Amino acid sequence: MTSRAAEAARLLLAAHERRDRFGALPSRIAPHTAEEAYAIQDAFVALRATKLGAVTGYKIALSSEAMRRFVGVDEPQAGMMHESTIRPGPARIRASDYVHPIVEFEIAVRLASDLPAADRPFFRQHIAAAADCVMTAIEVADDRNADYKALAAHPLDLIADNAWNEGAVLGQPVADWRSLDLAAVRGVASINGKVVGEGVGAEALGHPFDAVAWVADNLASRGRALLRGDVVISGSVVTSKAVKAGDRVAWRVEGLGTVELAVD
């Protein structure tokens, strides 16, 4: 699979550079298992790292049962975030840098200590003990005008393409999060001052820390680990929204404050 993964990664990078529409990889190099898909993701992320920097964060995709059914998979998917794409809010991006930018509305966790692979499986209490701070987060992604109805025919290609991640905008770190019920906190998403969705932290696999534990287990299954300083965004509380030049995005969560993103 190593040579196939490398070839698939090069093809993905070229597709991004040409701004091609997202689609299935050629059958001869397409992943047939999650293990193969993550091997392609690793190779693809390594290629992008020369421009975007080291991996300092992770994401979970398809954290809701409804989205998993829609795409045709039984479990969430993990992706990586490059250092240069993780921005403090308020932040600005250019719509022209993406094919079809979308945003998701999440709760992020930054770790104060490592979660060694040998300690798996991980649970909510492990994340609570390792967490440094909690933040609001707007994920920036690029679905490259994907045909969502066709995703169920090749769901592993989404893993290979790093779950479409293009970074995240983080709100102010909240160190006293222990006074909050993160499953119950309510968030309100707005674009150009209009509310586009609301939700609670439990939308992320029941609790944001449960989503982070899932990411830690996923990495551990591949011999890797979450490390001190890593940021994990725990899955969208509100359905993803497409954005365009001129849009102003805001995500406010009870007890965590507001993070803002301007799209130029």
Query: pLDDT tens digits, residue range 196-220?
Result: 999 999 998 999 999 999 999 999 9
State pLDDT tens for residues 42-72: 999 999 999 999 999 999 998 877 677 767 7
User: Which CATH homologous superfamily contains domain 57-263?
Assistant: Fumarylacetoacetase-like, C-terminal domain (3.90.850.10)
How far apart are the C-alpha atoms of 126 and 245, rounded to whole Å?
41
pLDDT of residue 66: 66
Residue 183 has pLDDT above 80, yes or no: yes
Exposed, middle or buried by CB within 10 Å (0-12, 13-18, 19+), for 75? exposed
Q: What are phi and psi of 252, to 5 degrees?
A: -115, 130
Residue 258 has pLDDT above 60, yes or no: yes
Strands (E) located in the chain: 55-61, 77-82, 86-88, 91-93, 101-111, 131-142, 165-170, 186-191, 194-200, 231-233, 238-242, 248-253, 257-263
State pLDDT tens for residues 90-146: 999 999 999 999 999 999 999 999 999 999 999 999 999 999 999 999 999 999 999
pLDDT of residue 149: 87
pLDDT of residue 73: 78
Inter-residue contact 102 to 197 (CB < 8 Å): no
% of the chain surpassing 90 pLDDT: 89
Residue 109: beta bridge partners? 134, 232
Whole-structure pTM value = 0.94
Inter-residue contact 182 to 100 (CB < 8 Å): no
Q: What is the residue-averaged pLDDT of the chain?
A: 94
Interacting residues of 14 by C-beta distance below 8 A, sequence separation 6+:
none
pLDDT of residue 1: 55
Nearest residue to 39 via CA among 5, 8, 15, 71? 5
Inter-residue contact 209 to 124 (CB < 8 Å): yes
151-155, 182-186, 194-198: the lowest-pLDDT one? 151-155
pLDDT of residue 70: 67
How far apart are the C-alpha atoms of 18 and 12, rounded to whole Å?
10
How far apart are the C-alpha atoms of 42 and 20, rounded to whole Å?
21
State pLDDT tens for residues 152-167: 889 899 999 999 999 9
pLDDT of residue 65: 74
pLDDT of residue 69: 74
Q: What is the mean pLDDT of residues 32-42?
A: 96
pLDDT of residue 257: 97
Higher pLDDT, 5 or 65: 5
Q: What is the DSSP letter of 138?
A: E
How far apart are the C-alpha atoms of 26 and 7, rounded to whole Å?
11
pLDDT of residue 77: 93
pLDDT of residue 71: 72
Nearest residue to 7 via CA among 33, 40, 38, 35? 40
